[in-house]
Amino acid sequence: MKYLTKIIFFLTLFLGILANAFTTSAQTDKGFLYGTITTIDETTYEGVIRWGKEEVFWTDFFNSVKESNPYYKYLSDEDREPRRRRGWRKVWRDNWVEISSNSYSSRDGGRHKFACRFGEIRSIQMEGRSSVTLEVKGGKYINLRGGSNDIETKVWIMDDEIGMMKLSWDRIRKVEFKETPSPLENKFGEPLYGVVETRQGKFEGFIQWDHDERITTDKLDGESKDGDVSLAFGKLVSIEREGFGCNVKLKSGRELYLDDSNDVDSGNRGVIVTIPDVGRVDIRWRDFIRVEFQKVPNGKIMSYSDFPEGERISGSVHTVGGETYSGILVYDLDEAIDIEMLDGYNDNLEYSIPLRNIKSVTPKNYNYSLVELKNGDQLLLGEQRDVSEGNDGVLVFSNKEHPTYLNWKKIQKIVFD
């Protein structure tokens, strides 16, 4: 009887561990991109999607450039003239120079970049070699062209019946996204999650290593003293920068020093941390210290249904002259939907924040603004057009036909609804 009791105890323990592992996996499953891809021959594939070699979660970004600016027509000739005189400028940070441009075009007021999270997209229709029509939740359409490696890339899909498919861009007619079933029978791996330590502090969230690797089956490449090494991220506990390479600790307890690869040396493009109620933080390699990988906490994964429909931006603009204008807003003479991003640097860390997460923006000087988030965080962001003198100003539609244009220099504070 004593042995039977022990058997029952260990069996119960094993089943409990198994159930916990299954529950954890099912919770992360809902965070993967999922949908239907229709080819130019009307063949359809359905399953988990990986966009190029990178994006695989609903919180990942789709990047491109808007083909035109429909709001430029509301400017008077007087308001357009200062924008014609804008050109290239240098931005100094530490010992390096960043070249930026205000992207003026006399035809349409300048091409603005576009970025949103995949969870806010309903479909992507391929219109040509480098053009797409992006439909966001809520039924709004945006015409985009080029601008990033998200255009003209290969798209991977784990078809539920066929298995892995790698589809060329010119074979795809349309991609339609939908809620991810859970549990998934097939997927690419598990999310990378953890705490990244930097010179500016610690950041916890979903991790993109070298702007690329973001799941446990992706590989960390490097050279050890005994030869080349390629390690699945799922085997790692931590990575710490040291000298010209990194100390890597495995779950087994083994430790390796790796170098001579852009995964572990100065060729690394940086470490991105995605924080659900903030946005994402891009950490340069020179500011990175250490990452410790962890299990994804309950409630951190966002499913497709967690992203609400895109809404027009609305709020109030307070001017330095004491006037207030309220209504529908077009920020930077460009962003009109709350799924779009506000970009800026804080102490060498590059933030990209969905406008729907922002409570207010207060310009402080020609290059910086104080950005208050709806979660209570405050960030002093600068060196990007969204938060500096490069901003093209704000249109306020108090009525449908005749908006008020406010030059950035005249704005004291913008408060979003």
Radius of gyration of the chain (CA): 24
Of 343, 345, 326, residue with least CA distance to 334 = 343
Residue 225 binned pLDDT confidence (cut-offs 50, 70, 90): very high
| Global pTM value | 0.86
pLDDT, tens digit (0-9, with 9 covering 90-100), for 23-44: 445 678 999 999 999 999 999 9
For residue 20, the model assigns a pLDDT of: 43
Residue 199 has pLDDT above 90, yes or no: yes
What is the pLDDT, as a whole number, of residue 295?
95
Least confident of 78-92, 153-167, 367-381: 78-92
Cα within 13 Å of Cα(252), Cβ side: 6
The conformational region for residue 53 under phi > 0 = left, psi -120 to 50 = alpha, else beta, is: alpha
Q: What is the pLDDT confidence band of residue 414, given thresholds at 50, 70 and 90?
A: very high
pLDDT bucket at 160, cuts 50 / 70 / 90? confident
Is the pLDDT at 208 greater than 80? The verdict is yes
Q: What percent of the chain lies above the pLDDT cut of 70?
A: 86
Please tell me whether the peptide bond between 181 and the residue prior to it is cis, using omega within 30 degrees of 0: no
Distance CA 408, CA 390 (A): 8
Query: What is the DSSP track for 185-213?
Result: SS-S--B-EEEEEETTEEEEEEEEETTTB
Residue with tokens 């924008």: 83
The phi, psi pair for 26, rounded to 5°, reads -65, -35
Q: Where are the beta strands (DSSP E) in 54-94?
A: 61-65, 88-93
Q: What is the pLDDT of residue 165?
A: 93
Q: How confident is the model at residue 10 (pLDDT cuts 50, 70, 90)?
A: very low
More confident residue, 401 or 102: 401
Chain mean pLDDT for the chain: 88
Buried b (16+ CB within 10 A) or exposed e, 207-243: bbbbeebbbbebebbbbeeeeebebebebbbbbbbee
* Residue 314 pLDDT exceeds 50: yes
Backbone angles phi and psi of 33, in degrees to 5: -60, 140
Q: For residue 9, what pLDDT band results from cuts at 50, 70 and 90?
A: very low
- The residue-averaged pLDDT of 67-73 equals 88
pLDDT at 310: 93
The CA-atom distances, in angstroms, between 161 and each of 22, 203, 301 are 22, 39, 26
pLDDT band at 17 (very low <50, low <70, confident <90, very high): very low
What is the per-residue pLDDT for 5? 53
CA of 181: how far to CAs of 45, 46, 132, 304, 393, in Å?
A: 15, 11, 27, 10, 43
Spatial distance between the Cα atoms of 370 and 380, rounded to a whole number of angstroms: 5
Once rounded to an integer, what is the mean pLDDT over residues 293-309?
A: 94
Backbone φ and ψ of 162, nearest 5° = -80, -35
